[in-house]
Structure 1
Amino acid sequence: MPRFYCPLPLAPGAQITLPPTAARHVQVLRLQPGNELTLFNGEGGEWSATITRMGRSDVDVELGAHTPVERESPRAVHLIVGMPANERMDWLVEKAAELGAAGIWPVLTARSVLRLDGERAARRRERWQAIAVAACEQCGRNRVPAVGVPLALTEALAQAPQRDARLVLSLRAGSRPLVQAAGDTDAVWVLHGPEGGLTAQEEDAALAAGFAPASLGARVLRAETASVAALSLLAL
């Protein structure tokens, strides 16, 4: 059954007009009055719905029952990502949402190829958030991970709560395996660099901010691969 994100207050029996993005997808799928949908608004669980009217660009539905199903990971994993360039960041956001990331926080680092600020950064963040929504519609998640506006590394380091496990992926000698370093905490923040990795000074800054060095093994992974590997180990 088609699933759509509908960030509106939802209640059994309510008649609502779908948001423009969901309505457009319904039109593309050539759905008709009487067809059933599944809606979720990011607040938990999902709703059955039936199309009652198809307009030229708008779609009305009637809500049915709420099912309190959750498909979240047992541990909240936040990624602080040195943004890879081109389409790789799009791919990273999509896969991170599918794998259960609780949040994706892009950062600007010394070796970042992708440089964003101001209005351009805000537009790119909107694009990434839309990619995360589409991934949740596809994979069955009912809670959409937040995607942040790109920040300087120092700002991103400060936003990770001290009560959570905070790790920086590192090839330094003495780095503990990622799962071991995360322990049994309910929330983990994982920092990794872009193409070329973090500089020694940036890694030192993360360690000084309370992040612990963690390893994914001896091989050097691409930035987007490191995110997928970390999430697979910690969130699934």
Structure 2
Amino acid sequence: MRIHRLYTDQPLEPGRETSLGDGPAHYLGRVLRATRGQSVVLFNGDGHDYPADVIRLSKTEVVLEVRSRLPATAESCLKITVVQAVSRGERMDRTLQKCTELGAAAFQPVWTERTEVKLADRKLKKRMRHWRGVVISACEQSGRAVVPSVLEPVGLPAWLDAATPAKRLVLSTDSECPISRLEAQGRIELAVGPEGGFSEAELDRMRASGVLSVGMGPRILR
């Protein structure tokens, strides 16, 4: 039987009880139809899994007892920040989901010349909560116990001007340097363009800022 994994923002400690918030409690009690004594795995982003048992259920609350603390085994030694041009609805969600499953450490959304999405302050805050929810769901599904951070979007020039020790890369179909040639170590920031790709002016500025252009083959990935 599959053991379900659930994220909580509560501190977790073996031998102690924890109460789930409305979202996880609804999912566990109403969607999964959990019963008393059922086992689940909790995580809160600290890098550990916490096997736990359901001890009390009601319409508004689920209380579990944490049994133990286990170190996470699904994290990559390569710390990649995906610098993703903000894209429309499901495309952005799919990027966050799949990159989380593949082991991305963080996401830095950026505004570009060809970004078609415009988000005012209120809509941006709502969208960021949604993006974080997508990342958490991907962690639950993929077995990750560290939740990648989703940073507030910035303009591409602001990202380029920010100091970083990371190696910076940009995906380009015109690059003659396959990404497979690079040594896989340390921190990497990988820039991915919008639906129409980065403009030539943006690519020129990235190259001038020391961003290395790399390719993943001759085909354009959606």
Task: Report if the CA contact (8 A) 1:90-1:128 is conserved.
Answer: yes
Q: Which residue of 1 aligns with 2:119?
A: 116
Q: Which amino acid aligns with 1:149?
A: E
Shift of 1:205: 1.9
Shift of 1:136: 0.7
Q: CA-atom RMSD, angstroms? A: 1.6
Residue 185 (structure 1) aligned with residue 190 (structure 2): no
Q: Which residue of 2 aligns with 1:232?
A: none
Q: Which residue of 2 aligns with 1:231?
A: none
Q: Which of the numbers 85, 89, 92 marks the counterpart of 2:92?
A: 89
Residue 31 (structure 1) aligned with residue 34 (structure 2): yes
Which digits, 9 at most, give the CA deviation of each residue in 1:62-89, with x for residues without a partner?
A: 1111111320122111110112223111
Q: Which residue of 2 aligns with 1:20?
A: 22
The within-5 A match list for 1:39-78 is 39-78=42-81
Residue 146 (structure 1) aligned with residue 145 (structure 2): no
Shift of 1:187: 1.5
Shift of 1:54: 0.7
Q: Which residue of 2 aligns with 1:7?
A: 9
Question: 1:160 & 1:177 partners in 2: Cα distance?
Answer: 25
Q: Which amino acid aligns with 1:220?
A: I
Aligned length: 219
Q: Which of the numbers 125, 136, 139 marks the counterpart of 1:136?
A: 139
Q: Which of the numbers 80, 83, 86 marks the counterpart of 2:83?
A: 80
Task: Report if the CA contact (8 A) 1:108-1:115 is conserved.
Answer: no
Moved segments of 4+, more than 4 Å: none
Q: Which residue of 1 aligns with 2:202?
A: 202
Q: Where do 5+ consecutive residues of structure 1 fail to align? A: 223-236
Alpha-carbon spacing, 1:97–1:184, altered in 2? closer, same or farther (3 Å): closer
Q: Which amino acid aligns with 1:81?
A: Q
Q: Which amino acid aligns with 2:173?
A: L
Q: Which amino acid aligns with 1:60?
A: V
Q: Where do 5+ consecutive residues of structure 2 fail to align? A: none
Shift of 1:160: 6.3
Q: Which residue of 1 aligns with 2:177?
A: 176
Question: 1:72 & 1:160 partners in 2: Cα distance?
Answer: 25
Question: 2:139 & 2:206 partners in 1: Cα distance?
Answer: 31
Question: 1:126 & 1:195 partners in 2: Cα distance?
Answer: 23
Alpha-carbon spacing, 1:195–1:7, altered in 2? closer, same or farther (3 Å): same
Shift of 1:159: 4.2
